[in-house]
Amino acid sequence: MQVNWREIPAARNSFAVLGAACEKTGWHLYPVARPAPDITCYSLNSINERLYRDEIADADCITIVGGPHATACWPEVAVYADYVVVGEGEYTLPRLLSEIEAGRDGHIPGVVTRDWYEPAKSSVRLDAYPAFSLVKGYVEISRGCPFACGYCQTPQIFGHCMRHRSIDEIARYANRYGQARFVTPNAFAYGSDGLHPRFDKIGHLLRKLDHEIFFGTFPSEVRPEFICEESLALITDYCTNTKLHFGAQSGSDAILSRLHRGHTIAEAIRAAELCLDTGITPIVDFIVGFPYETDEEQRETVAAIQEVARMGKIHVHRFIPLPGTPLAGTRARSLLSETEKVCGDLALGGKLTGSWNEPEIRFFRRYLK
């Protein structure tokens, strides 16, 4: 039985992770540019799902769909896919493949069919699975997030309790290549409960790595309240990156409170100042157009964007109501003319990136070329 993996740019790291997990039980995932027999697996997010829905429905093979969108909207996905993997796939996907090969119905925890579903009974222990194998990926060092930001799918998929890969296992994979980059919702939360940093453990980790280290930058980030002299010293002492990526998200404390962000705009501004004082460029995320954002609250965000832009760079995008989040089903509000002007002027000056008018442009541009 041949098992294929549908190549999708946004799912490359999922391919690395799940391909490695499947190899442990003797399954090899073959990359394909279109569905092919016997089985084709997909990992979809809530932005690109519409591009592959018809392809999956019309596929002349067995289809298995997972990823953030499948986890949030499994009843919808089960209409056009043969099997839907809900949540983490390292244990579930290889087990499902064995069920299919044996001619059974695939009724196992964590899998949805058109007439059956039972949630998974446990979470994945990261050390039980390789970070990657034949397909190179980023090293995922942590999963889960104790916060409940209204727009974010992460805690809905991976839970509110943080789980960490051990230092030795991280070093085992990170030291295979000249650069070490990591996947984590908050790099400065490594080894902790996600609320109270353990910088001693981060220092221990960084000292175990042999090559260029990029920590707290793409494809991960940090939280602003975790940025302090001690955490920045870890970057300057051990890491190659001269930038640090973190989210402010709004310039309004009222909006941040409603989002359950767990920090204030003053903490985000202070984080940017500390980065600047240390010689690190802050790259700060903002979201505009929250559904309950007033004109004055949007103006507060614009003022914060302008202030931070004097110290570093801004990444801004229009609010997207992702399925499975507290703000699912809402709509982005319109932007003020001054918001569009400030973002446009800063973008022309090289201080701002993102898409603040049509949020899907930045996601679809790569697919529609």
pLDDT digits (tens, 9 = 90+) for 131-163: 999 899 999 999 999 999 999 999 989 999 999
User: Domain for residue 54, yes or no?
Assistant: yes
In this predicted structure, what is the pLDDT of residue 369?
Answer: 41
Identify the burial level of 264 via C-beta atoms within 10 angstroms of its C-beta, where 0-12 means exposed, 13-18 middle and 19 or more buried.
Answer: middle
Per-residue pLDDT reduced to its tens digit, 83-112: 999 999 999 999 999 999 999 999 999 999
Average pLDDT, the chain: 95
Residue 42: give the domain boundaries.
Answer: 3-117
How far apart are the C-alpha atoms of 71 and 84, rounded to whole Å?
Answer: 8
User: Domain for residue 123, yes or no?
Assistant: no
At residue 145, φ and ψ (nearest 5 deg) are -155, 130
Same-domain check for residues 194 and 99: no
pLDDT at 251 over 50: yes
In this predicted structure, what is the pLDDT of residue 156?
Answer: 87
Same-domain check for residues 68 and 197: no
Which domain CATH number covers 200? 3.80.30.20
In this predicted structure, what is the pLDDT of residue 79?
Answer: 97
Same-domain check for residues 154 and 209: yes
For residue 187, what are the contacts with CB-CB under 8 A and spacing of at least 6?
A: 141, 202, 215, 216, 220, 221, 222
Which of 53, 84, 117 terminates a domain? The answer is 117
Spell 138-172 as b/e; 16+ CB within 10 A means b. Answer: bbbbbbbbbbbbbbbbbbbbbbeebbbbebebbbe
Residues 42, 136: contact at Cβ < 8 Å?
no
Per-residue pLDDT reduced to its tens digit, 36-79: 999 999 999 999 999 999 999 999 999 999 999 999 999 999 99
Neighbours of 25 (CB within 10 A): 12
In this predicted structure, what is the pLDDT of residue 48?
Answer: 95
pLDDT at 259 over 90: yes
Neighbours of 357 (CB within 10 A): 14
Same-domain check for residues 38 and 17: yes
Same-domain check for residues 165 and 200: yes
Same-domain check for residues 279 and 361: yes
In this predicted structure, what is the pLDDT of residue 361?
Answer: 54
pLDDT at 227 over 70: yes
The total number of structural domains in the chain stands at 2
User: Domain for residue 46, yes or no?
Assistant: yes
